[in-house]
Amino acid sequence: MTGSGELLTAVTSTLARRQVVAIDLRLDQATLDDAFLALTGRRAEN
């Protein structure tokens, strides 16, 4: 799932209200290198 803002809070709150216990949650945040690759289709040169 992807999103922004308070997505993690919304997901965990919804799971809790429905009494669903998540075994594993992970939050990833894109880097500037990820953004460059997404925009240009190539890796940044070092």
- Per-residue pLDDT reduced to its tens digit, 18-36: 999 989 988 888 899 999 9
Domain hosting 12: range is 7-40
**Cβ-count burial of 27 within 10 angstroms (0-12 exposed, 13-18 middle, 19+ buried)?**
exposed
Does residue 21 form part of some domain? yes
DSSP 1-46: ----SSHHHHHHHHHHHTTPPPS--------HHHHHHHHHSSPPP-
Q: Which long-range contacts (CB under 8 A, 24 or more apart) does 5-8 make?
A: none
Question: In this predicted structure, what is the pLDDT of residue 45?
Answer: 84
Does residue 17 form part of some domain? yes
Q: State if pTM tops 0.85.
A: no
Q: Is it the case that residue 4 has pLDDT exceeding 90?
A: no
Does residue 23 form part of some domain? yes
Q: Could you give the number of structural domains in the chain? A: 1
Q: How far apart are CA 9 and CA 4, in angstroms?
A: 11
